Amino acid sequence: MKEEKKASPISVLLGWGKPYHGKFIGSVVLAVLGVACQMVPYFCVAHIVTMMLDGEQDFSRYVTACMVALCGYLGKVLFSSLSTTVSHTAAYYTLRDIRWRLTGKLARVPMGTILDTPSGQYKTTIVDRVEGMESTFAHLIPEMTANILVPLVIVVYLFIMDWRMALLSLVTLVVGLAVMSVGMMSYPKKWEGAVKAGKDMANAIVEYIGGIEVVKAFSQSAGSYKKYSDAVNYNANYYVEWMRENQKTMSAYNAILPSVLICVLPCGFAFWLSGSLELSAFLSIVIFSLGLVGPIMSVFTFTDDLAVLGTNVEEISQLLNAEELDHKDTPVNLADTSIGLDHVSFSYDGETEVLHDVSLSIQPGTMTALVGPSGSGKSTVAKLIAGYWDVTSGSITLGGHELKEIPLSEIAAQISYVSQDNYLFNRSIRENIRMGRPDATDAEVEQAAKQSGCDTFIRKLDQGYDTVVGSAGSHLSGGERQRIAIARAMLKDAPVVILDEATAYIDPENEAVVQKAISALTVGKTLIVIAHRLSTIIGADNIVVVKDGTIHAQGTHDKLLETCPLYRDMWQAHIGANDQM
Ligand SMILES: Nc1ncnc2c1ncn2[C@@H]1O[C@H](COP(=O)(O)OP(=O)(O)OP(=O)(O)O)[C@@H](O)[C@H]1O
């Protein structure tokens, strides 16, 4: 991975396209054939001029030269379009593979990395940056090679004809190139700024849309959402300013580079008048030097791609090389579903420790409840057990094996994590529930829905189980979403179930059904429950009181009522609140 970071952007790019090297090479060969054909008309025209000057009277020779020129032109069209088709195919497959790698990577990086990164940034990297490399893959490799070859061959030919004229035909190219390189010096830095401006704008837009409910509720307009409007303005101003800065250089370059005849014509005349250059050679040189301009101008249309390549490759590599959760890939045989935390400390940001030296033992088939004040670290303990993050120090075991030794897929298969905001995908309810077990039949999906108290409300919907739930389940209420998430977990039927405030949004009317469903879901399982409503966990085998990132006390409900003043206070507050309801 480190090697990939050190390598040049082009070699990283070629590495990503490795499976399609054959296709890329094919596209280069076709592009070169296209170029060879492109040269034919120039030779033919030069040949016709020579024949005219020599007084050739045989009309058929002129026709033949024209036909050969036409064949060359058609050959160029054919080979170039074949080259483009092959290179685009290889390019799109390469982009697809990069996107697969990037999304696969997201599943292996700690949740913290993902949560701390604005989602707009991931969208920009996976969609825009990857897309930005399509033209590099599809055009840069074959066309740039071809467009460099044409002028090279022409220049060699010009040197063979007359070295003085060859040098003269290069003058404006060299000057134009020098002007261009001065302008390009600041390009990578400027592009970096443009990328940052684009990213800030994407993040602000995603945040703005995500918070649109708040914006509307508080009568905010787009303009008053300052972060968003600032980002949009900054982005526009940045490009306008950059364009202004570049204007002079670009105009100079566009004026100088194509004007090869400025030196070739007057000097050519002078040489011809002095008798040191034949008229036919002079005219051929004029024709060939004009042929230099097109390909060289085309080469420079790729300088943009080259300049932005480094930034794109760097951004994609950063995500591909992001630190992964430290887990082995070899499956292990778990003895049971016991869970152990041994002197676990944890920090989300590497600075502030939120769990301090936590040790806890959870027996298979038991119910453990985590209770404690808000922000004390209950969800953090649960998420570490589910393998969402790696511990900072200490260790966690599942079935006698350290979590690090267990492949992530195996942990995911062993544990169902149901939280208060389980995400629903913008698909049908049936598909959302089936995510718990992709091979479940329709009958099994509906059975799980019945057990978790969703069946009735689902059947009342127009499309029943085929109702699409909207983005993030927005067409459903919080309680309905939670019940679907519980149905999904029931279908998955994992031996360890973690319920993190899983019933927080469920209304009293449905609470009994859902509690019954949860009891069914958790029979014989190792259950970890986080619940603020203490009445739902009084039957737990072990209640763990978490306070300030440490285990303050643990035991049964009765024992804690006797021995733990904090628990007693929480219980009093709970029954007091219930009395008032
Ligand atoms: N993704 C995160 N990045 C940084 N800090 C976090 C993150 N998630 C939680 N924290 C912090 O870690 C601490 C423990 O949070 P945690 O969610 O585990 O508490 P909790 O006991 O479950 O709280 P609640 O009962 O309110 O859900 C808090 O100080 C919280 O601000």
State both tokens at 468: 């699409």
In this predicted model, what pLDDT tens digit does every residue of 349-370 receive, in sequence order? 778 899 999 999 999 989 999 9
C-alpha 400 to ligand 1 mean position (Å): 27
Ligand 1 within 6 A of CB of 115:
yes
State both tokens at 457: 């409300």
Pocket test for ligand 1, best of 115, 379, 381, 544 (most atoms within 8 A of CB): 379
Point out the ligand 1 atom lying closest to the alpha carbon of residue 501: 27
Tokens 């300052």 sit at which residue? 226
Give just the sign of the alpha carbon dihedral 91, 93, 98, 102.
positive
Residue nearest ligand 1's atom 3 by CA: 348
Ligand 1 within 6 A of CB of 420:
no
Question: Which CATH class for the 339-580 domain?
Answer: alpha beta
Helix or strand run (H / E) with residue 547: strand 542-547
Which amino acid, 197?
A
Pocket test for ligand 1, best of 355, 376, 505 (most atoms within 8 A of CB): 376
C-alpha 499 to ligand 1 mean position (Å): 16
What Å distances lie between residue 190 and 52, 195, 198, 235, CA to CA? 53, 9, 12, 12
C-alpha 510 to ligand 1 mean position (Å): 28
Asked if residue 428 lies in contact with residue 476, where contact means CB atoms within 8 angstroms, the answer is no
Give the residue range(s) of CATH 1.20.1560.10 domains in the chain.
2-320
pLDDT of residue 1: 42
Ligand 1 within 6 A of CB of 380:
yes
Residue nearest ligand 1's atom 24 by CA: 374
State both tokens at 79: 């080979």
Point out the ligand 1 atom lying closest to the alpha carbon of residue 372: 21
Pocket test for ligand 1, best of 114, 349, 380 (most atoms within 8 A of CB): 380
pLDDT along the chain (581 residues), means of 10: 60 87 91 85 88 89 95 94 91 92 84 70 84 82 80 88 91 88 80 84 79 65 69 91 86 86 91 90 87 79 74 86 78 86 90 91 92 90 88 91 87 84 81 88 88 83 83 70 85 88 67 72 85 82 92 91 90 70 49
CATH architecture for segment(s) 2-320: Up-down Bundle (1.20)
Query: φ and ψ at 395, to 5 degrees?
Result: -150, 160
Q: Give, in degrees to the nearest 5, the angle at Cα 484 between 481 and 490.
A: 145
Ligand 1 within 6 A of CB of 548:
no
Ligand 1 within 6 A of CB of 374:
yes
Ligand 1 within 6 A of CB of 354:
yes
C-alpha 305 to ligand 1 mean position (Å): 44
pLDDT of residue 3: 43
State both tokens at 78: 């054919």
C-alpha 395 to ligand 1 mean position (Å): 20
Query: φ and ψ at 323, to 5 degrees?
Result: -60, 135
Give the residue range(s) of CATH 3.40.50.300 domains in the chain.
339-580
pLDDT of residue 2: 43
pTM to 2 decimal places:
0.67
C-alpha 354 to ligand 1 mean position (Å): 8
Neighbour order of strands in the sheet with 339-347: 353-362, 339-347, 393-398, 401-402
Start-to-end C-alpha separation, the chain: 59
Reduced to 3 DSSP states, what percent helix, strand and coil does the chain have, rounded to the nearest 5?
A: 65, 10, 25
C-alpha 65 to ligand 1 mean position (Å): 80
C-alpha 553 to ligand 1 mean position (Å): 19
Ligand 1 within 6 A of CB of 555:
no
CA–CA gap between residue 518 and residue 171 (Å, rounded): 82
CA–CA gap between residue 473 and residue 318 (Å, rounded): 32
